[in-house]
Amino acid sequence: MDFEIIARTFDALEKISSRIALTNALVDLFKQTSKDEVKIVVYLIQGRLWPDWKGMPEIGVAEKLLIKAASIALNVKEEQINKIYKEVGDLGKAIEQIKASKDATAGTLTSFLGVQKKEKLSVKKIYESFVKIATAEGEGSRDIKLRVLAGLLKDAQPIEARFIVRFVEGRLRINIGDATVMDALSIAFTGTDANRPIIERAYNLRADLGDIAEILVKDGINALQNITPKVGIPIRPMLAERHNDPKVMLEKVGGKAYVEYKYDGERAQIHKSNDEITIFSRRLENITHQYPDVVEYSRKYIKANEAIVEGEIVAIDPDTRELRPFQILMTRKRKHDITKMMKEVPVSVFLFDAIYVDGKDLTNFPLPERRKYLESVIAQSDDMQIAQYKYIDNAEDLEKMFYEAISNGAEGVMIKSISEKSIYQAGNRGWLWIKYKRDYRSEMSDSVDLVVVGAFYGKGKRAGKLSTILVAGYDPDADVFRTVCKVGTGFTDEELDKMTEEFKGYIIDHKDPRVISEITPDVWLIPKKVVEVIGAELTLSPLHTCAKGEISKEAGLSIRFPRFINWRPDKGPEDATTCKELVEMYRMQLKQVEEEQNP
C-alpha cells in the first residue's frame, strides 16, 4: 500500500469531528490494507511502532535534527524552515509547505525535461525506515537518523512529509482511541460492528492491537473468539469498584466473599516461560529490570513451565517481615543502582490471581478455582506467597479484617466475589472485586510513650534475640495496661543486643494480671520499661485492646508502621500515655484521605 493513502486518511481524520465519520474513514483505510500490512497500519494509527510494553525504543526525534534533515532533503536553509515553522506553528505543516512550493518548481522542470517521476513511498518502506531511526544507537546513530530521515523527506509528497515529520516527532495530532480502531476493524473485516466485543475481549487478553488485527484478517473472527492469553503478551488488568459500607459490599457479591489484604505496593503481572520471566506493571509497562529479585523468586517459587500470575510487590522489613509503606518502595524505584537498592529495600510478592497455567486459560474460571490453581502452582515462602485472605460472610468479620489489614500495614481489603460468575474480567472494572479503603486517616504527628509488656524473638540474623516488643497504653480508671502495637523497627543492632540482656530481669512465665492483651508474645514481661514510639498514623485494630469499644466495637486503637525512638528511663509505667489520650489524639488528627495515585 502506498503511504499516500495513510497520509490522506490522516489528513481527513484531522478535519472530522464525529465519531461515526472517524470510524468510517478508518474502515475505508482498512479495506485498502493488505493482510501483511494491517499490523503496521494499526501501529501507525496508534502513533507508535510497537506496543509500549515491548520496552523497545520509541521514535521521538529532536526538532533540531528534523529541521536539519529537511534542510538537506529540500535544499533549503535551516533558518528558512525555522521562519516558516514560527509562522505556522507546526513543523509538519511548515515542511509540507516548503516541499509543495519546491515540488511545484521541480514539477515544471520535470515535465519540461520529460524525466520519469520517482517511485511512491510504500507503507512498508516508511515503517522500516521509522524502525531504523528508532533503533539506531551509539556512535554514528545521529548520522543514520539524519540520512534515513532526509531520504524519506526527499522522496515524500508534501502531504506525506507532514505526517512523517509529525510521526517521528512523536506528535501525530490525530487522536484516535483504541475503541474506534476496534469498531473499524470489526466493520471492515467482518462486515458488522456486532463482532466488536469479540475483538475487545481478545485485545484485553493480549494487549497488542496490531497483533489482534493481524489474527483477525489472517485467521478470521473465530480465531479471535478462541484466543487465549499468551505468555509474554500482557493482559489488561481486572479492576475493582470502590465502596465503603461493609454490608452493601457483601450484598453486591452475593453475601459471601474472599476478603484479601489490599497490599500497598506495585501491581505485578508475572509471566513465566521456563526460566524466562517478564513482569508487567498496572499500566502494562515492562518493569522486569526493576525487580531482579522478583525475577529470581518467580523462577524459584512458580512451579509451572508456563504461567501468568498476578500479585502485588511490597516493600518489607527484612528482619521482621512486616509490610512497609508504599513510599519506601518508591525510593527503590527512583534509584538507579538496583543491586544496592535491592538490599536496602527488599520486597516480597503477594500473589492474588492465576490467569494462565501450563496451557490452561483460567480467565473463565470462577475465583475459587483460579485460587486452587494458584495455590497448587506456588511454593510459598517469605519472598513469594499467596495474599492473605479469608472466607467471609458477615459485615462484622469484614470490618474486623479491614482494621486488621490496615494495622498490619495493608491499605485496606479487597472483597472478591466467589460466585460461579466470578471470572477474571480482563480490562474491566466491575463489582466482582470491590476495594475497601479508608475515607479518613489519623496522621500521627507526635510520639507517644508506651509500656513494654511482652516481646518476640526475631528471624534471620535476629534469630534467638528478642527483637520485637509488645507495648501498651495505661488505663488509669482500671489501673491496667492495654496493648497498642508491636514494635520491631527503629532499633540499632547495639540496642537489640542489649535488649535481650536487659529484658532477662523482667521475664515472667505468665501474663501480668494488670496487662489486658489478646496477643500472646513469646515472652511476657513485667510492665516496667517505657519506650517512646512514633508511627505513620493512629488506626484501629481488632488485635489490640487499648480503648476497644470507644471508637469501634470490634477494634482498639493501634499505631500503623510504629518505630522505636528511645527508651524513657525517666518514666514509670503509670506515666505512659493513657488510652484516653490516644483516643483524643486519634480524633484530633483525623483527616479525610485524598485519593492516592499508584504508579
Site membership for ligand ATP, residue 294 (CB under 6 A): no
How near is the Cβ of 276 to ligand ATP at its closest, in Å? 23
Query: Measured from the CB atom, is 217 or 347 closer to ligand ATP?
Result: 347
C-alpha cell at 123: 507503507
- Does 449 participate in binding ligand ATP (rule CB under 6 A)? no
Q: Which of 16, 84, 231, 239 binds ligand ATP (CB under 6 A)?
A: 239
Q: Is 429 annotated as a binding residue?
A: yes
Rounded to a whole number of angstroms, the minimum distance from the CB of residue 48 to ligand ATP is 23
Using a 10 angstrom Cβ sphere, with 0-12 exposed, 13-18 middle and 19 or more buried, the burial of residue 27 is middle
C-alpha cell at 95: 515542511
Please identify which residue in 124, 243, 256, 435 interacts with ligand ATP, judged by CB under 6 A.
Answer: 435
CB 234, min distance to ligand ATP, A: 14
List 68, 99, 145, 262, catalytic entry: 262
How far apart are the C-alpha atoms of 409 and 560, rounded to whole Å?
Answer: 6
Number of residues near ligand ATP (by CB under 6 A): 13
Q: At its nearest, how many Å lie between ligand ATP and the CB of residue 215? A: 28
Residue 284 makes contact with ligand ATP by CB under 6 A: no
Of 259-267, 297-305, 440-448, 553-561: span binding ligand ATP (CB under 6 A)? 259-267
Q: Decide whether 445 or 598 has the Cβ nearer to ligand ATP.
A: 598
DSSP-assigned letter for residue 316: B
Instruction: Please enumerate in sequence order all residues whose Cβ is within 8 A of that of 503, keeping only pairs 6 or more positions apart, or say none.
Output: 455, 466, 523, 525
**Selected binder of ligand ATP within 352, 402, 456, 561 (CB under 6 A):** 352
C-alpha cell at 365: 474460571
Q: Which stretch binds ligand ATP (CB under 6 A): 172-180, 198-206, 256-264, 359-367?
A: 256-264
Closer residue to ligand ATP (CB): 415 or 472: 415
Q: In the complex, what is the shortest distance from the CB of residue 593 to ligand ATP, in angstroms, rounded to a whole number?
A: 11
Smallest distance from ligand ATP to CB 301, Å: 18
Shortest distance (Å) from residue 260 CB to ligand ATP: 4
Report how far residue 359's alpha carbon sits from residue 578's, in angstroms, rounded to the nearest whole number.
59
Q: What is the dihedral of CA 529, 532, 536, 538, to 10 degrees?
A: 60
Between 112 and 440, CB nearer to ligand ATP: 440
Beta strands 429-437 and 239-242 are: parallel
Distances, alpha carbon 362 to alpha carbons 227, 368, 403, 423, 580, in Å: 12, 11, 32, 8, 51
* 263 sits near ligand ATP (criterion: CB under 6 A): yes
**Residue 349 · residue 384 · CB < 8 Å:** yes
Q: Using CB positions, name the residue nearest to ligand ATP.
A: 267
Cell digits of residue 409: 500495614
Q: Which residues pair with 313 in a beta bridge?
A: 266, 349
Options 61, 378, 387, 516; binder of ligand ATP; rule CB under 6 A: 387
Residue 115 CB neighbours (<10 A): 10
Q: What is the 3-state secondary structure (H, E, C) of 539-579?
A: EEECCCCCCCCCCCCCCEEEEECCEEEEECCCCCHHHCCEH
Distance between CA 521 and CA 392 in Å, rounded? 27
Beta carbon nearer to ligand ATP, 172 or 378: 378
Instruction: Decide if residue 585 touches ligand ATP (CB under 6 A).
Output: no
Closer residue to ligand ATP, CB minimum distance, 323 or 546: 323
Which one, of 406, 404, 379, lies nearest residue 390 by Cα? 404
Candidate list 260, 475, 512, 554; residue touching ligand ATP; CB under 6 A: 260
Residue 152 grid coordinates: 524519506
Question: Does 267 show up as a binding residue in the annotation?
Answer: yes
What one-letter code names the amino acid at 380? Q
- Name the segment binding ligand ATP (CB under 6 A); options: 38-46, 63-71, 149-157, 257-265: 257-265
Closest distance to ligand ATP from the beta carbon of 421 (Å): 18
260 among the known binding-site residues?
Answer: yes
User: Cell 534509584 maps to which residue?
Assistant: 335
Q: Is 352 annotated as a binding residue?
A: yes
Residue 416's SS3 state is strand
Q: Which is nearer to ligand ATP, 213 or 413 (CB)?
A: 413
Residue 211 touches ligand ATP, criterion: CB under 6 A? no
Q: Output the smallest distance, CB 387 to ligand ATP, in A.
A: 4
| Contacts of ligand ATP in 300-339 (CB under 6 A) | 312
Asked whether position 392 contacts ligand ATP by CB under 6 A, the answer is no
Residue 262 bears catalytic tag: yes
* CB closer to ligand ATP, 350 vs 474: 350
Position among 240, 392, 484, 499 found at the interface with ligand ATP (CB under 6 A): 240
DSSP secondary structure string, 320-382?
A: T--B--HHHHHHHHH-S-HHHHHHHS-EEEEEEEEEEETTEE-TTS-HHHHHHHHHHHB---S
Min. distance of Cβ 435 from ligand ATP in angstroms?
A: 5
414 contacts ligand ATP (rule: CB under 6 A) = yes
Q: Which residues pair with 271 in a beta bridge?
A: 278, 308
Q: Is 282 in the site for ligand ATP (CB under 6 A)?
A: yes
Alpha-carbon distance of 541 to 557, in angstroms, equals 6
H or E, element range at 218 = helix 209-219
- State which of residues 34, 111, 175, 598 lies at the interface with ligand ATP (CB under 6 A): 598
- Does the footprint of ligand ATP cover residue 404 (CB under 6 A)? no
Q: Which three cell numbers stand for residue 372?
A: 486452587
Terminal-residue alpha carbon distance, the chain: 40
Which grid coordinates are listed for 201? 475481549
Distance CA 108, CA 106 (A): 6
> Binding site membership for ATP: which residues?
260, 267, 282, 312, 352, 429, 435
Residues that bind ligand ATP (CB under 6 A): 239-240, 260, 262-263, 267, 282, 312, 352, 387, 414, 435, 598
Binding residues: 260, 267, 282, 312, 352, 429, 435
Please give the positions annotated as active site: 262
